[in-house]
Structure 1
Amino acid sequence: MKKIRAAVIGATGYTGRDTIEILLSHRFAEVTYLTASSDDSVPASSMHPRLTGRCGLDIEPLNFDKLADTADAALCCLPHKVSMGFVPQMLEKGLKVVDFSADYRIKDVEVYQEHYAPHTDKDNIARAVYGLPELYRSELKGADLAANPGCFPTGSILGIAPLLNSQVIDPSDICVSAVSGATGAGKKPSPGLHFPNHNENIRPYKIGSHRHMPEIEQICAAVAGDEVNVLFQPHIGSFDRGIISSIYTRPVKDLSQAELEDLFKDFYECEPFVQVLDSPPEVKNVANTNYCHIYPAAVKGRIAVFTAIDNLVKGASGQAVQNMNIMFGIDEKEGLL
């Protein structure tokens, strides 16, 4: 089959690097164009030394004509508020786009604008499919714009969805406490990520106001068919990559541990990248993979669910390639561990 020509837009960051690496091992795709916001071209291997001897492309300023000539798919690793300035032109050029930002995830424009910025491409919000394959696989097939989920929402929603789908919990009483590695904050230096401040440390942030909370609530409400209230509290820990999410819910019916495990195993029975465990997950066991590990527990009258993902893979680049595969009608596991 003809290989998918893939461009990585915003190739200098962590997600750009991981996307390139995944595509280099993909049998049915090839990296044909790398871009960044700089005015100058630089070898990809000088920006990401891990690519030395593996990728001979330069990272160039974005040129839409060259993009259209060299690529079939654009994996857009641009920041929130920036991406929507570029995606419309990519779509006009006939590319399939997987957008890593939040710009097309939230369907309610007012909610988006409350947490991010004025939206300049409202017409394409309805066009975008939320890129969580476990819930939206059929919609992703043939789509031309996928809104790649946030890393925290991915781990949270995968842990909550089976319970809401089975209507066994109170949708108004869900609490998620999650810890992310430092790469979740991106590549730009900041005082909080300065080594003496970050090393051997963990801290909560954005108390009750994190902008991933409305994203989690939107998708959970779609699963539940009703309003959902989620208290989401993120933390940042002193490890490089991964997210561990602890989810606490109030059941509306009695479930034994065995029944709870069966519920999750049935829900994810055919999912290639979700594994239901018989013990709590750990971030080291999913690092550099596209897997989500889940462990549900019936404890003290509550249902607790624990999930682990790699924030840069299942939480970003890996899931984006999974979405791209589905959009182009090939095995969604291709190129992914």
Structure 2
Amino acid sequence: MRVGIIGATGYGGAELLRLLNQHPKVEEIVLYSSSKEGMNIQESYPHVSGIYNKELKSIKLQSMKEEVDTVFLATPPGVSTEWSGAIAKAGCQVIDLSGDLRLQDPLVYETWYKREAAPLSLIENAVYGLPEWNRDYIKKAKIIANPGCYPTATLLGLAPLAKSEIIDVDSIIIDAKSGTSGAGRSPSAVTHYSEMNENFKIYQINTHKHVPEIEQLLNEWNNNIQTVTFQPHLVPMVRGIMATIYVKAKRQTSEEELRELYQEAYQKEHFVRVRPKGQFPATKEVYGSNYCDIGVTYDERTGRITVVSVIDNVVKGASGQAIQNFNIMNGFEEELGINNVPMYP
């Protein structure tokens, strides 16, 4: 197949290029840019020198179907709102890595993203691309709303509990930490080396735009779950997310029962690994991979369940999951192109 990447000079686009370059079903990758057309990708990313030597093409929606079969939008919010419908209408599959098509209620989107929402007809045609829990719909989709990085780690970590009758639905607290690549490639005071090195920051307190995305899916799984407390932090590393989730148990349970719940939920899922009793994952253990590793325990003294979920935010939290969706949409083996061993150390 031929694939196109819009937004190839960002971190998500660069990771798509790295992974798609080794995909056995991808014969051509076309890179598009609205601002840097004509520039060779090697000028932006010298690490692809000698591997991928092509110029960024201008975006011409009317002729895109003649060039590619699938388009990945690794773009800031607002771009997909403008282009996804036209690309899909032209006959291409669309996989949107931004948040433009994830929220089903346009008013909720506008409240949290502070910009105009996509047309409702476009939102309704987009399928939320969390493969482990939405695979049947992804198989039939033409437009995918790829999940956010924090929601991916959080939702995979919470799903078995949300679908059970074990938890107090009003007690969910998500304490999440991310590497700085999640903020994108554009430099800012927040991610400047002098600001971030040997530092640990809380940010967007009670206002992060991934909150409604998390709540939306949790409510689909369990309509008694209305709100959660979610708080992100930045840590001085490049890649990785750790979501530590605290939930009050509604009744007496045990670590053995909880681990059985998680093992049953994910026993057939290649990219979700449930840790053995007493083991909890670290971000380095999924670095550069499409895996989500989960550990779970129960504190009998407090009656509280703790779940630890880790992903690489650029892979399972963005580009790797987008390719996982690409594989499902086209009937390929789900692991194609993304079945690499995590990099360690």
Fold equivalence (TM over 0.5): yes
Structure 2: how far apart are the matches of 1:242 and 1:30? 30
**What one-letter code is carried by the residue in structure 2 that aligns with 1:45?**
Q
TM-score normalised by structure 1 residue count = 0.97
CA contact (8 A) 1:41 1:59 kept: yes
Give the drift of 1:302. Answer: 0.4
- Matching residue of 2:159: 161
Give the drift of 1:142. Answer: 2.1
Matched, 1:28 2:32: no
- Matching residue of 1:254: 252
Which ranges of structure 2 fall in alignment gaps of 5 or more residues?
341-345
Give the drift of 1:267. Answer: 0.4
Q: Secondary structure at the match of 1:124?
A: helix
- Matching residue of 1:196: 194
Q: How large is the Cα RMSD of the aligned pairs?
A: 1.1
The C-alpha deviation readout for 1:45-78, integer Å capped at 9, x for no partner, is 2211121111122112212244211110001101
Higher-strand-fraction structure: 1
Give the drift of 1:120. Answer: 3.8
Q: Secondary structure at the match of 1:307?
A: strand
CA contact (8 A) 2:100 2:118 kept: no
The C-alpha deviation readout for 1:313-332, integer Å capped at 9, x for no partner, is 00000000000110111111
- Matching residue of 2:270: 272
Give the drift of 1:21. Answer: 0.6
- Matching residue of 1:286: 286
The C-alpha deviation readout for 1:186-221, integer Å capped at 9, x for no partner, is 011101111111111111101111110010000111
**What one-letter code is carried by the residue in structure 2 that aligns with 1:56?**
N
CA contact (8 A) 2:36 2:56 kept: no
The C-alpha deviation readout for 1:79-137, integer Å capped at 9, x for no partner, is 11222111111011101111011111000111001011112422110111100001100
- % identical aligned pairs: 38
- Matching residue of 2:243: 245
User: Structure 1: which 4+ aligned runs deviate by more than 3 Å?
Assistant: none
Matched, 1:77 2:79: no
Structure 2: how far apart are the matches of 1:265 and 1:213? 27
CA contact (8 A) 1:84 1:120 kept: yes
**What one-letter code is carried by the residue in structure 2 that aligns with 1:237?**
V
Which ranges of structure 1 fall in alignment gaps of 5 or more residues?
none
- Matching residue of 2:131: 133
Give the direction of change, closer, same or farther, for the CA distance of 1:180–1:143 in structure 2 (3 Å limit).
same
Matched, 1:102 2:99: yes
**What one-letter code is carried by the residue in structure 2 that aligns with 1:55?**
Y
TM-score normalised by structure 2 residue count = 0.95
Give the drift of 1:39. Answer: 5.0
1:182-193 paired onto structure 2 within 5 Å: 182-193=180-191
CA contact (8 A) 1:85 1:121 kept: no
Q: Secondary structure at the match of 2:296?
A: strand
Structure 1: how far apart are the matches of 2:304 and 2:169? 13
- Matching residue of 1:308: 310
CA contact (8 A) 2:215 2:228 kept: yes
Structure 2: how far apart are the matches of 1:228 and 1:115? 16
CA contact (8 A) 1:241 1:287 kept: yes
**What one-letter code is carried by the residue in structure 1 that aligns with 2:245?**
I
Give the drift of 1:309. Answer: 0.1
